[in-house]
Chains A and B, each alone.
Chain A
């Protein structure tokens, strides 16, 4: 076996190394390295009454559809993949006629309000004249038509594709609605861009409840299952808010240009302080007083946190909380871990994550947080902890239990599935931790927890293929 020491960094240290190009942060290590077309498709397919048509080979959409769209939850909006299915002959003779036929068919059978045509590498490379086709069919098709050239070779990947599509939709809304007077004290809430999560409904309801305390109304929520009409209501809000700190800054900028809507630039409301900050930032943006910070419910949560903090300070010998989430939510979770008196440590990080989350990391640093990151080797540290301490003295893990076979106290949570935002989220987490440390038998025999962690083989390959195989 190949025995390497754990790779442990401070967040600020790793940021400096990546910024100075000492580490491989190329997009080869991005596991979400999908196409710009897929990013755009993800956005367009969120809305009911809007149908995307992919003008390209069937492979451009079908595999993506089955892995990312068909896996949306039961009863959620998942329009079937529609493609012009370009093949060898179409490359030579063009496939504009096929697209025209498909447009008419979709218009008749789905009766959508908007059809969005997304181009692919192939249709871009053979320079299909789609705009002229749309011009010819404008009056023959009942739905509105929107063309987004988004072939994979022309753009920089999934995230950029999603931004381009959202920008195009917003520009379309502007062209339809024109100038409107926004309602005072109302906001549009943009959820995570990619797909939908179990926790969405609960998170929205909790944050809407807290906003209401300050007299702020949610005008519309942009998420999977939103409708065309929800989209058209976007200009009616005074400002835009998100959960995610880096949520398409350029889209928010465009919203400001088109509708004069300000954007509240703040991270996930996870933990008490982050929740108050989130609400306060929005209140300040709208010029309304922040009543929440003095509210009784905040005081209650504060005292619960103090109680937990006191408990953990006497109980744990190793006062550390390991977070298995290298994204925005994991970074925001750092604040909650610090709040309860533990040292936050994020595992599963890659150099690429530093690059994509750069803005959030700098924001976190400016707020005085500099968590430890473990790139690899965390299981070795955990096993050592198992030897050194009794169960209830060991550090706490925040991750799905099924990925860790060992016997450290694990708050069995999924950052996508479990709702952890707002004050309800804090209370839920506090309860989880108390319950966890009280339980005697911490090693459930469930077959799904008997899953050995394996290192993701993609990360460490370059130039050492054979050695890597031995490690795995």
Chain B
């Protein structure tokens, strides 16, 4: 019988760059995606669109060996030009190159310049083997900013751009909106993009005072473009706003960047903190609540996520929720390493994920913060302990936006943890 291959478990989490680019492309109104590459690439688009809950709307020219040996561009020209009829009235048209077309190194930029009318909303981005999911997301955001955020308009005071972590969690839109909500309490109006955006939304990016990244791994290249071209500074967080301490630190860092009065920050934090405590307080009288909280103190956790988020969750679980100890498993090697692993937490490499699960006895109470795809890896006895916080959430159905970030996120995560603990 074939058994699970332990050190290959990380491959469940990784995705290709075309997948990442599609996550972004499908966030635009009336957008179209054309993949110039071989047939296999389609599956990445299908998965990305399903995760974004978008109806399939993509086109694909299957590139063959003959195309590559002769002249791929002539096939592209033959198929692409009739498609563009009437396209000027639609949303952005993304043209993605994949592995095979990337390998032939065709001069696509030259082709577009020579053949495509400049008023067509065509954007092209290289995906393929050059990188993985993060690369694809960043390339696509950068490409669309570069294509449509071209003219400087008058800066609006206290206006912020927020670049969300597109597709990286089941509720990434909710995360960005929570960040926007917190910033609005400081008097800022926020413009989240890409998030159900249009070409007009991108054109308005240049009116902002600054850009905030929700996740340090997503959007830096695009934010850098806005900075270089329009002198709009950007903020890349050193810590994600997870947990009350995490949000406070994040808020202080943002305040430093935006030059906000620290007294204002204190007031906002205190108000939000009070709200959270007022919400939690009635539960203190419940026996059920107290039993569960006591159980947590003897429990372990496993967090599977990208580097920074995993560490932020671990920090929250150890320091604020007061779990006994836990394990952190990084699902991708691509993310930037900013945050340190907290005390009482053991870092697990991909080789030893299954060994970790073997180490946990039946009597241990564990909570697993991960993508739901780890259900294929973990033993049946722990399957109902998974809280889906991460990508890829292939088996997760989400209708209502609920975030784990920010102040609302603290309550939501706490609620999930307590409901997952059974006694």
Report A's interface with B, CB cutoff 8 A.
27-28, 31, 33-38, 48-51, 56-60, 62-64, 66-68, 70-71, 77-83, 85-88, 90-91, 105-106, 109-112, 120-122, 125-126, 151-154, 157-158, 454, 456-458, 461-467, 469
Contact = CB atoms under 8 A, between A and B. Distances in A.
Given A60-B40, A121-B99, A33 B60 contact: yes
A109 B50 contact: no
Interface residues of B, number: 64
A63 B62 contact: no
B11 interface: yes
Contact of B60 (A28, A91, A112): A28
B44 A105 contact: no
Interface string B113-133: 000000000000000111110
Contacts of B278: none
Contact of B55 (A48, A51, A110, A454): A454
Contacts of B361: none
A132 B11 CA distance: 26
Nearest to A125: B103
B272 interface: no
Contacts of B99: 56-57, 59-60, 120-122
A66 B392 contact: yes
B278 to A, nearest CB: 34
B43 interface: yes
Contacts of B50: 67
Interface stretch (B15-23, B157-165, B241-249, B299-307): B15-23
A463 B85 CA distance: 6
Contacts of B43: 34-35, 38, 63-64, 67-68
Contacts of A31: 56
Contact of B40 (A28, A68, A120): A120
Contacts, number: 188
B231 to A, nearest CB: 33
A112 B3 CA distance: 9
B86 A464 contact: yes
Interface stretch (B63-71, B185-193, B309-317, B320-328): B63-71
Interface string B66-83: 001000000000000011
Nearest to B18: A59
Contact of A461 (B47, B59, B61, B377): B59
Interface of B: 1-9, 11-12, 14-19, 30, 32, 37-44, 46-48, 50, 55-65, 68, 82-83, 85-87, 89-90, 99-100, 103, 128-132, 373, 376-377, 392, 394-395
B57 A82 contact: no
Contacts of B30: 469
Nearest to A89: B129
A153 B64 contact: yes
Given A67-B46, A81-B12, A463-B82, A152 B39 contact: yes
A63 B86 contact: no
Nearest to A64: B43
A122 B100 contact: yes
A104 to B, nearest CB: 12
15 contacts: A35-B41, A59-B99, A62-B11, A66-B373, A67-B46, A67-B394, A70-B373, A82-B11, A83-B11, A91-B103, A109-B3, A152-B39, A153-B63, A153-B65, A469-B30
B16 A466 contact: no
Contacts of A461: 59
B129 A34 contact: no
Nearest to B3: A110
A153 B2 contact: no
**Top-7 shortest CB links A-B:** A59-B16, A35-B40, A152-B38, A64-B43, A63-B47, A63-B44, A152-B40
A78 B19 contact: no
A213 B146 CA distance: 71
A58 B57 contact: no
B352 to A, nearest CB: 12
A60 B60 CA distance: 16
Contacts of A27: 62
